[in-house]
Structures are given as structure tokens and as C-alpha cells.
Structure 1
Amino acid sequence: MLSAIPYAVMAIVAVVDVAAGSDAGFLPLISLGPAFAGLVGGWRRTAWIGALALALSLGLGLYDGLWAHRRGITALVSVTGVTVAGLVAAVMRQRREAELASVRSIAEVAQRVLLRPVPRCAGSLRVAVSYTSAMADARIGGDLYEVVATPYGVRTIVGDVQGKGLEAVETAAVVLGAFREAAYDEPELTAVGERLEHALDRHLTAEKFVTAVLAESTTERSMTLLNYGHPAPLLVWQNGGATFLAPPERALPLGLALHGMKGPHPHTVDFARGDQMLFYTDGVSEARNTQGQFYPLDARAALLREADPEDAVEALRKDLVTYAGGPLHDDAAMLLVRYRGN
């Protein structure tokens, strides 16, 4: 539809010019054709529309008898100048689009390397994940997640880096790298958290931080959680009931706890066959509808009844976007785990 605008504008101007006569002075408006072409089309198309506008100006000028007057020359110069300007605009826009496409491609590769696919099955768990970035142009954000099977059980992290863009991605890479090593090395979940603290202490500057929740699932049908100022996971029981697993005490995010504050205390919850646990970032819990109301995550627990975990988390993601009424204003990551043991 946008591609038809230059032709429509020139046709309207031509009809009005013929109907109104030469005294109305509508002929220079033919230059609107190449002007719009430079905004929505490539340089070749802009050149073609510019040539068409020049031909139309010559024809209307002859029809109106303007070439014996200065007004005809002025109209022709106007159309020529706007056509040249449209060509320059089209070339510059195409170059910027090519640069943006290159940056977007690099960002997507970086995101795939950083947030590698999680295993669909890990120990006694089935896993599904969803990630929606608020930065549509670059498709990259600061939310993070990982699931690893270790000698000490299946360990999970979901986190949210303060800030956006490549700086946030760099911090997320530090957290995930430290977690992937510490999860295998440390027998205690609290020690894993301490390793993350030390890694971020070397990396972060000023008052930057990362909210995160660490989880550990063993063969004893339980889940141990370690929450660093992150939104509480949502536990959905087999009977459909749901509750948020708030920690016994609030703790500072990662990156701040080394400043004279104690870290979080681990707490353990029952996690049996048929139960589900949803980890998420504040892009989910703080999404608002057009009336400014927060997304009622616990009230949407029924959407997680899909047989396949990936279908369940996708249904929740679609509902979230529908509730927000458009693109999200913050990155939204969701990681769903289901107990599949006997």
C-alpha cells in the first residue's frame, strides 16, 4: 500500500492541476511523488518515479502553457531537486537498513550462543523455555536462564540483569559462565551462589546488579530454592492449585550481597509427580494491560495444563502478549519445569 502513495499523489496533483487551470499553481506539487518514493522505496524505484514526475511536469507545463513563463521553469527545477534529494535519502536509508540487519544478525548469534537451548529432559524433570526480548530492533536482552544436570541434582538458574543492550548481555554471559562451572563443582547450592557473587564482584561497576533464583532438584521429590531478589517462582500442583514460593527472607540481588550483607537462605519445597514450577522474570509479572493492571500470573495457571511443556509455556506467552495489548516493554523469560518421576 505504501508503494502506491507516490503514484496516487502525482495522479491527484495532475487531475487537480488540469481541473484548476494554470493559474492555481499546483504543478510544483508533482515533486511529492519522488519525495514519498525516497521514504518508502529503493533508489532505483525513486529514480523511476522521479523520471515519471519530470515527464508529467513537462506534459502539464506544455498543457498549461507555462514554458513561456518563469513558473514552468521553477516547477521543473523543484521536481528535479526533490528527485535528487529523494535519491540521496533512499541510498542512505538502504545503507542504514543493511547496517541494522548486520547488527541484528550478530545480536541473534550472540543470543543463541549465550542462551543455548535447554535440555527437554534433565533428571526427573521435563523443561520448556520461552524468551521474548523487548528490544525488537536488536532482538537481544538481559534475561538469562540455564538448566544443567550435575552429580548433585538438576540445577537451574533464571535471572534478570539490570540494564539493556550489549552491556547487559555481557553481564549475563559472566553469570551463566560462572553458573555452568560452579553447578558442577560445588556440592552446596549456597556455594554456587557465592561463586556467582565473586564473579560479578570482579565484573560489575557502580551499583549494577542481577536478580536471580537458583534451584536444585534431587531424587527426593523436592526443590531447593535460593532467591537473590528475584520474583518468586510459581508452583502449580497437580490438582491445578497454584502459589508463589516467596523466600523466608528477602535478600539482595547478585552483585550487591558482598557489601556487608548476608546472602539468601535456601528453602526447600515439595515437588512431586504432576507438579510444575514456573520461573520467570519481571517482564512477565510486571506486564500491564491498557488499564495499567499487572498480569495476573497465578490466575493464568490453567494455561499450563497442556500435555507438552513447550505448548504450555507458549500458550502462556501468547496470553501475556495479548494481555499487554502489543509489544512488551521489558524482556520476558519463562522456564517451566515438570516433575516426571514415578
Structure 2
Amino acid sequence: MTVERPTPGSALLSWAPAAVMAVVAGADIVAGPGVGFLPLVSLGPAFSGLVGGWWRTALTGAVALVLCVALGVYDGLFEERRGFTAMASVAGVTGVGVAAAVTRRRREAELASVRSIAEVAQRVLLRPVPRTAGPLQAAVSYTSAVAEARIGGDLYEMVASPHGIRVIVGDVQGKGLAAVETAAVVLGAFRAAAHDEPDLVSLGERLERSVARELEGEKFVTAVLAEFGPDHGVEFLNFGHPTPMLVRRDGGVDFPQPLAFALPLGLGAHGADGPKPYRVDFAPGEQLLLYTDGVTETRDAGGAFYPLGDRADLLKDPDAERALEALREDLVRHSAGPLHDDAAMLLLRYRGHGEGKSVPAV
């Protein structure tokens, strides 16, 4: 389990109420009663209501009230109304701060609940791919853009069908629950059609019909379909998605391009021709990486895109999951901060990667 450590900014805010009250008390003692610093003690519980819980705000208010009484006695302000006015100010601000803290915590709990439900829904939606299927070894990685937006529209699936092992990696336009809902439509259609349709073209056409029924306006889904047969080859069907990366046994890298680029899923009604399937040799010891544009469009501090083809050597580890994790960590380092888009990667190996021997099934 990952334990979240407080950031320097949050630690600074947590000390703000005490610091403010200390500064006000010092200024009041130095300047004397004529300046009128005493009511500013109420800034302590005001800040506490913004960053702490209700109990902490109430405690800060009590300390502020004691400090107000002490300074009021020191300044002789209780001989007139100014001391009582300052006390009323502290008490009033404390009450408002407690109410604000309670409301904020309730809203934070509601938001956390909604996010938790959404994340569980996405985990159910994006089921773990099998680590082995036929001659293939698989590993998957999903990196969210930011902690506040842990759900998105990237999708992946691998199905062992009567027609071969079929794979999809896609990216839904947009983010949030609407994107997850669309991803569910695509994955549901793919899981059913992968078993029924005799070829990739028919499978793609069925996905297009399913997505077109659900999407409105100019929304779309980019996707690449792959089918692995028994003849040491892989057939692709690309709907406007980034080109897969093929790592040859000798370390060479290819990005097999489609015969013609096609529109994403959901835009077929515009009258353009659908994608044409194309075949690429895929032999034992070779690797295939399918990914979303969150990978290749990640920029470093200087604005340079992530050089995926130059990082193929990171996939040398005999264990596919460790190899993909090394690539993911390098991607995060390249971004020099949170990713601006979700990044999904599916690594497929023709078993026999590494030493020319089959990788044992796990």
C-alpha cells in the first residue's frame, strides 16, 4: 500500500494558524493597544477552518480566545468595549470556521466516495489481461494523468478466440465517467465480436456500428486491433490510432504503418472508407508494444516528445512485467511532472524472448 506523505505546501499551511497568531501577538505587544492589532487574532481559526478539521479549528479558536483575553488584559482593553469586541470577533470567526471545516470534509468524503466507485468500475472494466495466451506472453501498464483524475478512456483487452488471439488497445475522446462509459461499450462489443466475427474487418465494422449507436456529435474512439494466427504473423486494423512498435530479435525497432490511415471509430458516418488490414511478420523472440498517444505525446521540460523508439532497449528484461515497468518509469521521468494524458501500454512477446528458449507460463 502506498502511504501519502504530506507535501511541503500542505505542511506550511498546517502551521499557518499558529504562525499568524504568533505574529499578531508579537505585533500587538510591540505596537501597543493604540494600533488595534488584537482583532486580527481571529485569523488563526479562520486559516484553520481552511486547512484543518472541525476539531482542530475549534481548538485553534479556543487558543485564540485565550490569547485575546491575555492580550486584552495586558493592553487594558477590557476597561472599554474594544476587548469584548475582539473576543466576539474571535468567537464568531471560530464558529464560521468550524462550520466551513465540517462542510468541506463532508464534500471531500463525497468526492472520495465517487472517485472510489469510479475507480472500482474502471478496474472491473479493464480486467487484467492473461499473462500468457497461446504462444504470447503479455504485460499491461496504465498510468493515470493526475491523481485528481484517476479514471479515463484508455482501454485494452486480449481475447483467445476460435479465429486466433485478438487484441484491442484504444483511447476514447475525453475523460471522466463519460469516457469510461464509452470504453465499456467498446470493450463489451469487442469481447462479444472477437469470438463471433471471422476476420478483423468484420470485427472492426461491428465495433463501428456499436460505437456509432452510442456516441453523439463529433466524439470518437481511436483503436488498433491485432490478430495473432498460427503462421508467425500478426494482422492489424488501425482506426486512427498510434502505430504499434515492433522490437525485432536483434534489437531493431519498426513502426509498421497501415496501408492507408482511417478515421477513428464513431466517425464512419462521414463516408470515409474503413481501415484496410495489413500483416506483419512476428516470430519467436520478438516483442510488440501497443500504446495510447499519452505515451508518445508526453513532453519533457524542454517540450520534447517521448522518444519511444529510442527506449526499446528498456524492454530487455526476461520478465515482461518488469520490462514494461522499466519503460513506464522512464516515461514518468521524461515527463518531469504529472502526465497530461493517460498512458496505456500493452506489451506482447512471442514466447522465446531472450535466450531463444520458451518463457515458462506463469
Which TM-score bucket, shorter chain as reference? over 0.9
2:47 is the counterpart of 1:17: no
The answer as to whether partners of 1:212 and 1:254 remain within 8 angstroms in 2 is yes
**Where in structure 2 are the equivalents of 1:97-176 lying within 5 Å?**
97-134=108-145, 136-176=147-187
Query: Partners of 1:236 and 1:257 in 2: how far apart?
Result: 32
* Worse overlay, 88-97 or 76-85: 76-85
**Where in structure 2 are the equivalents of 1:250-269 lying within 5 Å?**
250-269=261-280
The answer as to whether partners of 2:146 and 2:338 remain within 8 angstroms in 1 is no
- Secondary structure (helix, strand or coil) at the match of 1:327 reads coil
- Secondary structure (helix, strand or coil) at the match of 1:22 reads coil
2:103 aligned partner, one-letter code: M
2:72 is the counterpart of 1:44: no
1:273 aligned partner, one-letter code: P
Query: Partners of 2:258 and 2:85 in 1: how far apart?
Result: 75
- Secondary structure (helix, strand or coil) at the match of 1:129 reads strand
Query: Partners of 1:225 and 1:64 in 2: how far apart?
Result: 83
Please give the per-residue CA displacement for 1:80-100, whole angstroms capped at 9, x wherever unaligned: 221112111101110111111
Query: Partners of 2:340 and 2:116 in 1: how far apart?
Result: 22
Q: Which runs of 5+ in 1 are unaligned?
A: none
- Secondary structure (helix, strand or coil) at the match of 2:34 reads helix
**Offset at 1:243?**
1.8
2:241 is the counterpart of 1:234: no
**Offset at 1:108?**
0.9
1:75 aligned partner, one-letter code: A
Query: Partners of 1:31 and 1:209 in 2: how far apart?
Result: 53
The answer as to whether partners of 1:190 and 1:226 remain within 8 angstroms in 2 is yes
2:334 is the counterpart of 1:330: no
Query: Partners of 2:257 and 2:197 in 1: how far apart?
Result: 25
Counterpart of 2:321 in structure 1 is 310
Q: TM-score, normalised by structure 1?
A: 0.97
Aligned residue pair count: 342
Counterpart of 1:282 in structure 2 is 293
Query: Partners of 2:61 and 2:257 in 1: how far apart?
Result: 65
**Offset at 1:135?**
5.1
Counterpart of 2:219 in structure 1 is 208
RMSD of aligned alpha carbons = 1.3
Please give the per-residue CA displacement for 1:209-253, whole angstroms capped at 9, x wherever unaligned: 111000011121111111011000011112211121221111111
Counterpart of 1:56 in structure 2 is 67
Q: Which runs of 5+ in 2 are unaligned?
A: 1-10, 353-357
* Worse overlay, 249-258 or 99-108: 249-258
Moved over 4 A (4+): none
**Offset at 1:138?**
4.3
Query: Partners of 1:175 and 1:334 in 2: how far apart?
Result: 17
Counterpart of 2:46 in structure 1 is 35
The answer as to whether partners of 1:162 and 1:210 remain within 8 angstroms in 2 is yes
Q: TM-score, normalised by structure 2?
A: 0.91
Counterpart of 2:307 in structure 1 is 296
- Secondary structure (helix, strand or coil) at the match of 1:15 reads helix
- Secondary structure (helix, strand or coil) at the match of 1:80 reads helix
2:250 is the counterpart of 1:217: no
The answer as to whether partners of 1:130 and 1:313 remain within 8 angstroms in 2 is yes
2:340 aligned partner, one-letter code: H
Query: Partners of 1:33 and 1:245 in 2: how far apart?
Result: 63
Query: Partners of 2:14 and 2:83 in 1: how far apart?
Result: 28
- Secondary structure (helix, strand or coil) at the match of 1:250 reads coil
